[in-house]
Amino acid sequence: MRVISFLWITETVEHSGLSTFNCITVDILVEHAHASLVLGEVENMFELQATKAAPQISTLLMARGTALPPVLWSEGSNSTAKKTLDTVDDPQLFAPDKLANDLMGGAIRSLLYLWNGWPNECSMYAQAAPAKESLYLMAIAERQRGNAGQAKSFFQQLEDHDIYARLFECATEIVGSKADASLGRFGEILKFNGVWEPFAFTDMFEQVRTDDTKIAVGEFVRKMQHYEFNLLFAHCYKSATGEDLLMRATADHDPAKKIAKEDMAAKRDRLIREKAARSLRRSA
């Protein structure tokens, strides 16, 4: 049980085949309710349950909202979130959870800077993370800054990571259902190698970063980058505190329900971001 200051869903009710939600916008004790960073209609995906994290971290995660973020996370960077991260120490950031691994605590701080649009600070704090996570974080930060070659250099040093298997599983499912030629080629690379391909994904990211007309590829890059963050954040948070933030997502194949959920998600995202912004301003 912990106090969280957001708009939270307290109940889901089925009515006429559609999902509706009862919400409150006050500080509450959270036990079973959760807000998740959800990515799409894919069977083999996991959601990041943000409200299971420490309250301050939950606030920083939800400051961007629950909608799919843009390709470049520095667009709409959150200066209030940065000020919070600049000023709070690890005991404050993780309270009431106990930080069992200081190096993973550095990785979490680095990820929160990255998520809120500050890749330079991400790289700086990544140096305090464990070796593998440090390389991964610096690779993502360089990719965000448009330095594809440097990003690939860090990925080459990294070689492999625990989250790669789930990235591969999700990516192969998504590209298998798309007709776009670029996604088809990426799918062939994945199929041939049988593993996640951070180098090919970096090339695809760079393609989208410099040409926003490729809508299908852009949506895929945004989803996979978001999912990559969720998996890496959950991996680091579990190592840092012992708390598992992942929950298997469920795809809804009913078109009417899907549309209703998307509409509700958009409204919820706006309210959550507004609530998180107010909470950050109060704590800054």
Q: For the segment 211-267, what is each residue's pLDDT rounded down to a tens digit? A: 877 788 999 999 999 999 999 999 999 999 999 999 987 655 445 544 444 454 455
Query: What's the pLDDT score for residue 229?
Result: 97
Whether 113 maps to a domain, the answer reads yes
Q: Note whether residue 262 is domain-resident.
A: no
Q: Are 81 and 63 in contact (CB under 8 A)?
A: yes
> What percentage of the chain carries pLDDT values higher than 70?
71
Q: What is the mean pLDDT of the chain?
A: 81
- Is 45 part of any domain? yes
Query: Among 19-28, 143-152, 180-189, whose mean pLDDT is lowest?
Result: 19-28
For residue 120, being part of any structural domain is answered with yes
CA distance 245 to 250: 16
C-alpha 73/C-alpha 253 separation (Å) is 30
Number of folded domains in the chain? 1
Residue 150: domain span:
35-252
Whether 270 is in a domain gets the answer no
Assigned domain for 77 exists: yes
Whether 269 is in a domain gets the answer no
> What confidence tens digit (pLDDT) does each residue in 71-88 have?
999 998 999 999 999 999
pLDDT at 273: 56
Distance CA(138)–CA(131), nearest Å, equals 11
pTM: 0.77
Average pLDDT (4-33) is: 33
User: Cα–Cα distance between 163 and 222 in angstroms, integer?
Assistant: 17
